Structures are given as structure tokens and as C-alpha cells.
Structure 1
Amino acid sequence: MPAPLPRSPELMNADDTALLVVDVQERLAPAVRDPARLTWNCGRLLQGAAALGVPAAATEQYPEKLGPTVPELTEHLAGSAAAKLMFSCRECGDLLSGWQSDGRERVLLAGIETHVCIQQTALDLLAAGFRVYVAVDAVSSRREVDHQTALRRMESAGATLTTTEAALFEWCVEAGTAPFKAISALAKQAPPE
């Protein structure tokens, strides 16, 4: 059998990517559009990351006022969420520097709000030399115009737009493996009504 072609540098890999779930908190999540879909997709990303060895972390914006990360996600987090006051996650420099030191040059973003914390984080990560991916079905804002405008702005700045399922299968790479079974099960889940 001939050797396969080289893998595209545009694709995420489990060994060079990290997942950052931004500010999906008890008092903030209900305010955005379709919070059930957002939480479901963030949860699937966290579960897929765990199955494939992709490091994942979460942040909380001003947790004293906005509360902790929603319980549906904390059960899938290995550690506690990083508290921040800046809208951008650049405030979590130790986390991000640690990922860079470990060869994680790509970050997949999920969470809220698309036009505030996600957008500012994406632009700062790009400026710091990361390749940034945004799971468009795992981010949300209160208003659709803010969400859509932020997606266009991030993409024009160099972020790659993707979806939850596309990201999971990119990390997985191939069928017929134990991790594939976990990813396949996540892909088969019915979305919330």
C-alpha cells in the first residue's frame, strides 16, 4: 500500500492543540442565544478532548458576580476554571505559556460571548503566535448581529472557523480506534431540543 499524503497544516491535531472554554457561567450562560446548544457542544468538546488527550481548560469572568462554570461542564473539567477580570483570556498567561511550552501551537475556542471574550481572546492569541480555531456552534452572544459580526472579524484576522463535530474528527484523524468509538458516540448524540 502506498504511503498516505502528508497531513494538511490547516488541520488541528490532538498533539498540537488545546481547548479553551471561555466563561460558560451560571449567571452568564442563560443570557445568550440558545444556551442549551452552546453548553451541549462545549460539553462534547471537553469529552472529546479528554478521550484524545487534548488539554482543556476553562475560564470564568468575574466569578464573584457571574457565578461558577455551569455544572454540566465542570464534571468534564480536570481542574478548576481560571478566574479573570479582563475580557480577553490573555490574563491567563501562565496557562497559555504552558501550552506553548508543550508545543500546543493551536487553540480551539468555545464559550461566550462571541463578540467580547471570545473575539478579544482570539485576536490576542493570534498576536501571540497561536493558530486560533473557533467552534461556531459552541460560541454565542446575546444578539445575533454581535455573534455574526465577531465571527467575520475573527476570520478576517486569521482565525479558522469550524464546528464541534469537525474539530472532534480532526483531532481523531482515523476510524477503527478506541478513541474513534468515543468520538463517534459524541457525534451520534441528539442535540438538545
Structure 2
Amino acid sequence: MNTIFKHEETALVLIDHQIGTMQLIKNISLDVVKRNVLALAKTASILNIPVVLTSSQEENIQGALLPELQDIVPEAFATRVKRAGIVNAWTDSNFRDAVAKTGRKNLIMAGVTTSVCLVFPAIDAVSAGFSVQAVMDASGSPSDLAEEMSRRRMENAGVVLTATDTIMAELAQDWSTPTGQQIIQVMFQNVLPSIH
């Protein structure tokens, strides 16, 4: 994949950002991951990008999806794919159907843990013919080693690694447009360090 993602050709896929599982992230600040996930959802809302949410065993220790997502992308939240325990979301037919229904071939993906929730569906989506950008600061792992190995594995399979501010800028294209102005506001509020 060497093309710029355009918002009209792209879907956002957020995997298992649940309040329990989030606590497994140790290689990056939990607050940073949460703010970036919400910034991606806000960007998708501004640009009318379809959003696919999925969760695993919400009734167990994994817990509920981040409740803020219900306010930002209510339709995606209501229709989220609740997996009974399937590790690789891509092997869940309901999840694959939800992605297919977006009609988009470019996928921006983030998973609560890079090393379990993100690595497998990102690689499988590329194998299925999608272009995938994995957002590394909206995902995390229990250890630096787990993160590094998963990143290498994804890159070797053709997944492009990116960061939240990079993909937001890529989708915005022009800060002077009405949507660009909204996105840069989200970026300064949620993603970037403050300018004094």
C-alpha cells in the first residue's frame, strides 16, 4: 500500500477497547491510548467515515466498551459486534460482514492490545485484499517485547504502521476546509501537546 487514504474510501475499525482490557496496556500511557481512540472516532464522525466496533466478552473481566464511544459514534456502538470469545476478530463472520458492509477497501485499525487484538485481524484483512493502516498509539501491549514483535509481524505482512496525528492529517488533507478545521481542533484537544 503506497497510496494516501482518502476519507471517502476508508473505514475505521476499533477492536476491543474495553475498560477492563485497557488495563493490560503497559508499553504506552493508558490515557494517551484512550484519548487517541476517541480522537479517531471523532475524526470519523466529522468525515462521515463508517465505523466498525467490536468487543469480546463484555460481561467478563474485559468489561464494557469505552462509554465515550457511545456518545461519539452512537450507531456504531449500538451495532457493535459482540464476540463470544473468538480471539481473531477477522475469523468472526459477523465482524467480517460488518467490515464488508462499509463498502470501503481502506481500513484504519486499532486494537486494545497490539499483540493480541490487532495483529491477527490486521494481517488477515491485508490477506483479504484490504489496505490497512494500524494506529500504534491507539493500541498497546503488556510489554515492549510483545509490541515490537507484533509490529514486525504486521509490517512483514504488508500492514502500514501509523500514528493518530498522522492518519488524522492524512484524512483531513486541508486544515482550511470546514472539516479540516474541526479535525485540527480535535487534534489539539486530544492528541497533540499544548502549545504555549
Q: Same fold (TM over 0.5)?
A: yes
Shift of 1:64: 2.0
Matches of 1:168 and 1:126 in 2, distance apart? 21
**Cα deviation code 1:24-48 (max 9, x no counterpart):** 1121112212221111000000001
TM-score, length-scaled by structure 1: 0.88
Aligned to 2:155: 155
Structure number with higher helix proportion: 2
Q: Percent identity?
A: 25
Matches of 1:49 and 1:42 in 2, distance apart? 11
Which residue identity is paired with 1:41?
N
5+ residue gaps in structure 2?
none
How many residues in Structure 1 have an aligned counterpart in Structure 2?
183
**Cα deviation code 1:72-117 (max 9, x no counterpart):** 3332123222111212221112202212xx2x10111112210112
When residues 191 and 10 of structure 1 are mapped into structure 2, their CA distance, relative to the original with a 3 A threshold, is closer
**Cα deviation code 1:3-38 (max 9, x no counterpart):** xxxxx9521110111011110112111221222111
Aligned to 2:178: 178
Shift of 1:190: 5.5
TM-score, length-scaled by structure 2: 0.87
Aligned to 2:118: 118
Root-mean-square deviation (Å): 1.8
Q: Does the 8 A contact of 1:109 with 1:118 survive in 2?
A: yes
Which residue identity is paired with 1:11?
I
Matches of 1:117 and 1:124 in 2, distance apart? 12
